[in-house]
Structure 1
Amino acid sequence: MRPFFFTLVASISYGLLTAAEPLLSPYSLHEKRTSIPAGWSRSRRHEATSILPLRFALKQSNIEDIGSYLYDISHPNSPNYGNHWSAGEVASKFAPGDESVSAVRDWLVGSGIEAERIRVSPTKGWIQLNATVEEAEQLLRTEYHVYSHQTGQDHIACDAYHLPAHVQPHVDFVLPSVHFDAKLSRRSGVEGSAREVGQPGYGITPKTTGRVSTEVTELEQCDEYITPICLRTLYSLEYVPLATEKNSFAVVEYTPQAYLQSDLQLFAQNYSQDLIGKEPYMVSIDGGYAQTEYQGFDYNGESDLDLQYGMTLVTGKQQVTLYQAGDMVEGASFNNFLDAIDGSYCTFEGGDDYSQDSEYPDTEPGGYLGPQACGTVTPAYVISTSYGYDEADLTPFYAERQCAEYAKLGLMGITILYSSGDDGVAGNDDYCLNPNGTQTADGKIFNPSFPGTCPYVTSVGATQVNPNSTVFEPESACEQVIYSGGGFSNYFAMPEYQKEAVDYYLTTYPPQYPADIWNSTGMSRGFPDIAANGANYVVAIDGEFELVYGTSCSSPVSGAIFTMINDARLAVGKSPIGFINPTIYSSEFAGLFNDITTGTNPGCGTAGYNTAPGWDPVTGLGTPNFAKLVEKWLTLP
């Protein structure tokens, strides 16, 4: 099942150019959209003299092999395990070749475009041309129309476009063209974009049942109140870091989400004495700062949670970095953050999407007037993000471009963790898909999250200590307030590293649902990869303690555990663990996670998927056992 609305075609002949035109190869269909997104309607042909900023995203060299390169340095049986690449090596390997630039430029010039009008980006990632609509239509053998949305917003697009056969291998896609680029969230016409990620109530956000009204006696009450001692006991995390100067751990927050130092200190006084007087090292990205203008759970709950537990579990000896992205006016998207930690990404495959990603300087009143952050931040070895979209919020091209960046970070030895979602098989806010690709509250089709479905990140689901149970008994999938996000991607193919595990699940415990409500092909990426507790966290928020739920809890906790594994390796002169998925799915690591075999993840009017022995699309491989994992990882090169 592919619920998105356009397809890539590269082999349908369009015909020869006329004899009066430059001698070029036959044109072929490059992309075609199969339908108009819900809420939009075609209103008129675009004016022939209007200017279009045409952008040709050039094919990246070797990008089709990026998964193989990453697998080679990430699988425990590979002789190259742990031989991570430098940022320069990554940029060089995937930069488009001179032949791609020449092919597109020569075609444009040969078609009558003056050479001085053609601009090539410094990294050769894209070619830009300001063309009239008439010129663009002739170049691409298409017609441009103005589309109107029911909200009153207009968009320029075509139904299909063509490229010369000799140019096609050098071009990923052209903008503007068939893409609507998720300019609207497609949720009953409500406006939104990728940069809405930090706004209260948008995307994956923690939930609360309110104030903790009793004194917590810790270990004996972990079925009702999760505190650091519960997590250390659940996951065998008894470890004092030794290589803190060499190690690094970061959490990412998106303005206006912000932590309060007073909350961190309140938590420290009760549960983490070695954090008294400590604060995270904050790195501002595109004007991000720990704002205090707006307070309350919706503004402070996420960041307070992430830092209080992430910092506590790595102890006060390990500096934790806070990447705070976006100003109060524009905010930021995941792409804006990725630009900052990898400068080559700023123009990768055509650069950021102006309709989705924030642009800086921000000239609006109160906006950040500095330059856009590109390669200004050194990435930490482990990066945890407790935010996320639905796959269907974004076009496949947008998601695939970002997914490739996570692979590049993995090549550099960085572990990327994302929450898998809090609504089971449904998308954020319990929205599910309809056959036309839209998302509504009454949709019936399972709605996977992103970036958790990207095969180059580690997706983290949620578990719980069962009521009236102890931390010494098995956990189950989280079924209190939230449900662990999980399922199968509609955009990404199944990676080789998880094929055996996912095939076993689908063969032995096949989901009993009609094939038209979930991706039943058996060939798509399954998620999550792992899980950690996501229920009943005691968190200091706005001067009092509240109970918090969500995979927002699970990701920073897992990040802290992997940071301590990195510490043990760095202390003996070994490399960080980097991209962990090929390792944790390997037979060498079988049984090193606490297998979760009870619970489901309801959504879309169903009970969701079932947990099962081994991997399942609710809790992945299970929860981490630090003692077993660190022992095994220390045996690797």
Structure 2
Amino acid sequence: MRRLFQILALCSIALAAPSQRANHVLHEWRAAEPVGWVKSRRAEVEGIIPLRIGMKQQNIHMLEDLIMDVSHPDSPSYGQHWTPERVVDFFAPSESTVSAIRRWLAVAGFAEDQLRLSPNKGWIELNATVAEAEWLLDTEYHVYEHPSGEKQLGCHSYSVPEHISEHVEIIRPTVHFNSLVPEDPTRLHKRANPNHLGQPSSIYGPKTNGVKVETKPSLANCDQFITPDCLRALYNFHYTPKATAKNSYGIVEFTPQAFLAPDLDLFFQNFSSTQVGQRPILVSIDGGVVQTIAQSFSFNGESDLDLEYAMALTNPQPITLLQTGDLVEGAGFDNWLDAVDGSFCTFEGGDDPTQDGIYPDPLAGGFNQSESCGIIKPPFVVSVSYGQDEGTATHRYATRQCNEYGKLGLLGTTVLYSSGDNGVAGFGGVCQNSSGLDDPGGGLNEIRFNPGFPGSCSYVVSVGATQINSGASVNDPESACERIIFSGGGFSDIFPMPSYQEAVVTNFLKEHPPPYSAAQFNNSGKARGFPDLSANGANYVIAIDGLFELVFGTSASSPVVGSMITMINDARLAVGKRPVGFINPAIYSPKFAHAFNDITTGNNPGCTTDGFTAVKGWDPVTGVGTPKFDKLLPLFLGLP
């Protein structure tokens, strides 16, 4: 029967196709295939594709104004965050959009019972054969392969009828290209260079110089060994939480990245003795597990780092571990967003087979239950120490996901992302050529800077990295991190400058114009600049695989800043106020300027340049600077 239906459906599409295809317009495309991937063959025409059509949302143009209304310190509505129901209703696509897309699919031969409208009306889902999808979207699907053996299905571009284009934001799977590849968990230890989106070794992640720590760290040698006490001294971060039962702090990790319990205890024995035996609260998303099969820096470094410092700095605040993806398939950013916001499932960028884990997982040993959709209330603070190059995401995909972070801000959640570890370059030092294509080498005039995402999204807090200079103390000014890693920063090629940073970014470009042309970075003066702020990212002492080791990265900076915001939320909750939510409008406002240590030395080199320079005021290396917790706390506590 299925075969008969496919034949009938294809005939129906073929009959309808001439009038539709004649007026198709290009909707989304890739400039080139990502480095290392090659098109190997056409996809099997009878293969099934889970098509997801993301519909144009209503009122999305109002999102920035709405989030400013509840987040700007001068707003009379500060802290009056929205309910999930209000967010869904306000941004749901119009009935005319839903009807237009349904009619298009009906004419193309898809029966009504093949279509499913997501609960918030954001997506229309249908399963189609490759042949059906190719006719519908006027495209060709191919199998792409990587030298590592990974494969994925995708197309180079796709089109939709002109009268439908205004109703469609994005269709998946199509051109988006961050592959998540099924793995046999028994072979994890053989994987020397994981390529999952969630793997810190393939994106930002902490780096190590291989030094094993044998000296007893103290405040006297924080320039060589960063510990929780060093961070408390650096940022006057002294606070004992009072409202832990009301508060929440989430750390996102992507399986197979996982902490080791003995590592936590080893760290606590040395730096927070009352916490020996404590563990984060595990929330398993799409079969996420704290695996112990593979033990190495690549598999344990990020999670050990994040949890050791987040738990120590907020003790006794319970930490929620959002462990995302099963051992077989893995996961991407959209999977953890699904879990904290049920309206995001198959909506606003959710569930893309080329980006995310798709559940139930049909592979042997995979998570065979429904996707984890809305299984936990969004924590008040979420820190994510992962990212990707902005150039690997299409504008439509990045914009749609970015808007979801804005909606979390409306709900009262602070989302922090690491800004990157390669200065103005992308992961692995890869830059772009003048056409915006990945280019691992070339001359100065041929290389374009490669900003990171989601750190470039206007609705997340992008966190850069600083360092204590050699021979300096915790009382001396820090500089931009130039040890092992370079603080990621620059200007987005996708997102416009948000209103909250117009004054400081415009001032930077006027008073300290970078010595680079428009061919090297988006110097229009209208682009989102990042990072927003910074914290130390060098010489962290972590317990890893039974030893103490030094690590470096903005992936260390993000959970530290998240810990400070969590304690500020505690103080507000303790007196009956709400969490701070999206903090960028506040930290960029003049009244908060004195609450940051301005970083004025250092660069973030990359792409055969010195990158940008840390200067007085905001800069695309360290943002507005590093927090002075003792100044930030009363400022936020004084807001409604």
TM over 0.5: yes
Secondary structure in structure 1 of the residue aligned to 2:564: helix
> Closer, same or farther in 2 for the Cα pair 1:158/1:52, shift >3 Å?
farther
Question: For residues 212-253 of structure 1, what are the alpha-carbon distances to aligned partners after superposition, in whole Å with 9 as ceiling and x for unaligned?
Answer: 444324111111111111111110112111111111112111
What is the rounded CA distance, in whole Å, between the counterparts of 2:194 and 2:541 in structure 1?
30
Distance 1:599 1:355, change over 3 A: same
What residue number does 1:68 align with?
65
* CA deviation map 1:115-154 (0-9, x unaligned): 44444334322234566788767766x4647586686968
* SS of alignment partner, residue 284 of structure 1: strand
In the other structure, the counterpart of 1:380 is: 379
How far apart are 1:313 and its partner, in Å?
A: 0.9
Go from structure 1 to structure 2 and tell me whether the alpha carbon gap of 1:284 and 1:129 turns closer, same or farther (over 3 Å shift): closer
2:117 maps to which of 117, 120, 123: 120
Report the CA distance shift for 1:42/1:289 in structure 2 as closer, same or farther (over 3 A): closer
Residue 108 of structure 1 deviates from its aligned partner by 4.0
**Given the alignment of the two structures, is residue 106 of structure 1 paired with residue 98 of structure 2, yes or no?**
no
Distance 1:382 1:148, change over 3 A: closer
Q: For the residues of structure 1 that align with 2:246 and 2:146, how far apart are their CA atoms?
A: 54
With over 3 angstroms needed to count, the CA separation of the structure-2 counterparts of 1:381 and 1:110, relative to structure 1, is same
Q: Secondary structure at the match of 2:503?
A: helix
Q: What's 2:4 paired with?
A: none
Identical amino acids, percent of aligned pairs? 52
The amino acid across from 1:320 in the alignment is I
* Equivalent runs, 1:290-309 vs 2, <5 Å: 290-309=290-309
| Residue 58, structure 1, aligned to residue 55, structure 2 | yes
Q: Which amino acid aligns with 1:521?
A: S
> Would you say the 8 A contact 1:391–1:449 is kept in 2?
yes
Q: Is the 8 A contact 1:195 1:358 kept in 2?
A: no
- Determine helix, strand or coil for the equivalent of 1:347: coil
Which of 468, 471, 480 matches 2:471?
468
Counterpart of 2:207 in structure 1 is 207
> 1:365–1:629: structure 2 CA closer, same or farther, 3 Å change rule?
same
Distance 1:449 1:540 in 2: 28
**Which of 555, 559, 569 is residue 556 of structure 1 equivalent to?**
559
| Contact in 1 for aligned 2:448/2:520 (Cα 8 Å) | yes
- Coordinate RMSD, CA, aligned: 3.1
For the residues of structure 2 that align with 1:455 and 1:502, how far apart are their CA atoms? 13
> Which residue number in structure 1 is paired with residue 334 of structure 2?
335
Partner SS, residue 348 of structure 1: coil
Asked if the contact 2:70/2:80 (under 8 Å) is kept, the reply is yes
Compared CA separation, residues 230 and 180, structure 1 to 2 (3 A): closer
For the pair 1:596 / 2:611, whether they are aligned, the reply is no
Kindly report which structure 2 residues correspond to 1:14-29, keeping only aligned pairs within 5 A, or say none.
27=23, 29=25
Tell me by how many angstroms 1:359 deviates.
1.3
Q: TM-score, normalised by structure 1?
A: 0.88
1:430 equivalent in alignment to 2:429: yes
Asked if 1:445 corresponds to 2:441, the answer is no
Aligned amino acid, residue 375 of structure 1: G
1:591 is paired with a residue of what secondary structure? helix
Who is 1:478 aligned against? Answer: 481
* The 10-residue stretch of structure 1 (62-71 or 433-442) with the greater mean CA deviation from structure 2: 433-442
Structure 1 residue 553 displacement after superposition: 1.1
8 Å contact 1:56–1:174 — kept in the other structure? Answer: yes
Q: Spell out the pairing of 1:521-560 with structure 2 (5 A cutoff).
A: 521-560=524-563
Query: Is 2:579 the counterpart of 1:580?
Result: no
Q: 8 Å contact 2:115–2:126 — kept in the other structure? A: yes
Cα separation, partners in 2 of 1:181 and 1:481, compared to 1, 3 Å: closer
Give the one of 72, 78, 81 matched to 1:81: 78
Q: Pick from 620, 626, 629: which aligns with 1:626?
A: 629
Residue type of the partner of 1:31? H
1:352 matched to 2:351: yes
Distance, in Å, in 1 between the alignment partners of 2:412 and 2:109 is 46
Structure 2 counterpart of 1:31: 27
Letter in 2 for 1:292: T
User: Given residue 468 of structure 2, which amino acid in structure 1 is its aligned partner?
Assistant: V
**2:372 match: secondary structure:** coil
Separation of aligned partners in 2, 1:55 and 1:265: 44
The whole-number CA distance in structure 1 between the counterparts of 2:94 and 2:119 is: 12
- Aligned mate of 1:492, from 484, 495, 500: 495
SS of 2:510's equivalent in the other structure is helix
Match of 1:163 among 157, 161, 172: 161
Structure 1: how far apart are the matches of 2:593 and 2:27?
43
Please tell me whether residue 173 in structure 1 is matched to residue 176 in structure 2: no
